[in-house]
């Protein structure tokens, strides 16, 4: 989640041990985790309040996100470049080039 390796965790543990001492370190860890849980709860409540105030519902939001995904440039390009004839896509035949170049002359 935070992209912290074993070395960083070990360094944080040693610093915590030096700052708080072996007697107060477990209590400091408990208070820290309780504070993080409280912050997560507050953020979730704030998110719910904002969505309620804005009149957003999850179904409408997911439909809007799906519509936005359809507007991704790669999806648009693939829909434009897709063969018009489904049988042509199944056989793997390439469409005729209209660039005016005769492949037999090359």
Condensed to tens digits (0 to 9), the pLDDT of residues 43-85 reads 999 988 988 887 766 666 778 778 888 888 888 888 788 776 6
| Overall domain count for the chain | 1
Residue 54 lies in a domain: yes
Question: Strand, helix or coil at 40?
Answer: helix
Nearest to 40 by CA among 51, 32, 29: 32
> How far is residue 2's CA from residue 77's CA, in Å, rounded to a whole number?
36
Asked, for residue 34, whether it belongs to a domain, the answer is yes
Asked if residue 91 belongs to a domain, the reply is: no
Domain limits for position 57: 6-75
Residue 25 falls within a domain, yes or no?
yes
Enter the pTM of the model. Answer: 0.45
The pLDDT, as a whole number, for residue 92 is 52
Is position 100 within any domain?
no
Distances (CA, A) of 94 to 15, 81, 101, 106: 65, 12, 15, 18
Q: Residue 85: inside a domain, yes or no?
A: no
The residue with greater pLDDT, 1 or 6, is 6
Residue 28 lies in a domain: yes
């Amino acid at each position: 989640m935070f992209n912290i390796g074993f070395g960083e965790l070990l360094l944080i543990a040693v610093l915590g041990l030096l700052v708080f001492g072996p007697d107060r370190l477990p209590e400091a860890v408990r208070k820290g985790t309780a504070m993080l849980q409280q912050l997560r709860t507050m953020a979730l409540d704030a998110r719910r309040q904002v969505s309620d105030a804005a009149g957003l519902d999850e179904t409408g939001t997911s439909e809007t996100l799906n519509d936005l995904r359809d507007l991704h440039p790669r999806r648009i390009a693939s829909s434009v470049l897709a063969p018009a004839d489904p049988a042509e896509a199944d056989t793997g035949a390439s469409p005729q080039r209209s660039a005016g170049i005769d492949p037999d002359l090359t």
